[in-house]
Structure 1
């Protein structure tokens, strides 16, 4: 009983979300060994403090088609919540890029950032291998989730040619500090997705840096556009 009122419980919740990326109230209750009711009280407090956010998900996890039924809340750290933990990596990266820009100019920095995303694309390409478009999209989402992007995917309506379209969403930007100061990285990221799926058109539909709550990408085969 005393555990539910332990002053470190909220910190334990934040720590778990930092390590795991996301969790439901039930999962947190099981891990921290306190009642779901107590967990929900703490989650409500953390939400009011703007340290966590949640996404309502119907059915299974992001790689499955949504099912009917009551949606469950999946919690993750907000940007403010992440800042509760010591981490100078983002600040250092932005400072380094600022210094580079002052030293070599914006065009050269953009070239360096593009090269970085080309390297990242090669890393992804080696792991995506071959497969159907759905399999490749699912694998890409898996890789992005592992890097903290809170990615999901779902199929859209099938067109007359029988070619599926897919939507990939990212509810968290793992490089938000850099992206806000150097939004060109988002353009390079989009180029990377297009290079990984050369038989598709990849279009950004929503953008966190633009003030929206997530980044969204419409993926559709080029042969369906002709």
Structure 2
């Protein structure tokens, strides 16, 4: 991945950043980072907002535009939407529910295979993160000071399908709870479809 692509990737995975923050992450000068950002701005991939979060001069934070987010595309989005419409037309909502349930069962089997041999909750979550990353979710794990774990998904490769039928999102949350086990709780605290830039799940030991 070249420096230009890394710039977009960091804005995707870390959210809005100043040129100085990006410079440190990319091992560039501030001027070098600004040149990368301005080049992407000329192409319509990034924009900026000036945020006065402390006294003095506002901080300029750079973020992806809709076109920038689209460089990380949904998997076969158009075909997926057509298939959802066709299933609903041919078999009704009951047929669509069966489709979602079938996908749910297949995902659950796959995640359980990834977790084979995982003993602790953190090991299970890490295995789930690896599985989700393999599916294109750009997933990562963060441990909080209170001991809870955050499963962060910086991209949704089925976003088009989820917008068309939000039961896909409900399905994923249910699967996470089942595969991680009854000794923890799983809740969604950030939701892409709710306007957030990513999906985040908090996982706590019971």
TM over 0.5: yes
Equivalent position SS for 1:96: helix
Distance of 1:165 and 1:112 partners within structure 2: 33
Give, in angstroms, the shift of residue 80 of structure 1.
Answer: 2.2
Q: State whether residues 22 and 76 of structure 1, in contact with CA within 8 Å, keep that contact through their aligned partners in structure 2.
A: no
Distance of 2:89 and 2:6 partners within structure 1: 37
Q: Which runs of 5+ in 2 are unaligned?
A: 15-21, 48-60
**TM-score, normalising length: structure 2:** 0.70
Q: Which runs of 5+ in 1 are unaligned?
A: 1-9, 54-72, 159-163
Q: Show the counterpart of 2:82.
A: 95
Q: Show the counterpart of 1:113.
A: 100
Distance of 1:99 and 1:38 partners within structure 2: 49
RMSD: 3.6
Q: Show the counterpart of 2:135.
A: 147
Give, in angstroms, the shift of residue 125 of structure 1.
Answer: 1.0
Total equivalences in the alignment: 182
Q: Show the counterpart of 1:212.
A: 196
- Aligned match for 2:156, one of 147, 153, 173: 173
Q: State whether residues 108 and 179 of structure 2, in contact with CA within 8 Å, keep that contact through their aligned partners in structure 1.
A: yes
Distance of 2:87 and 2:126 partners within structure 1: 36
Distance of 2:123 and 2:152 partners within structure 1: 16
- Aligned match for 2:68, one of 66, 81, 87: 81
Answer with 181-190 or 117-126: which moved more.
117-126
**TM-score, normalising length: structure 1:** 0.65
Which residues in structure 2 correspond to 1:3-42 (within 5 Å)?
A: 13-14=4-5, 37-38=31-32, 40-42=34-36
Distance of 1:87 and 1:174 partners within structure 2: 4
Could you say if the C-alpha distance between residues 78 and 136 of structure 1 is closer, same or farther in structure 2, counting changes exceeding 3 Å?
A: farther
Distance of 2:35 and 2:87 partners within structure 1: 46
- Aligned match for 1:134, one of 122, 125, 131: 122
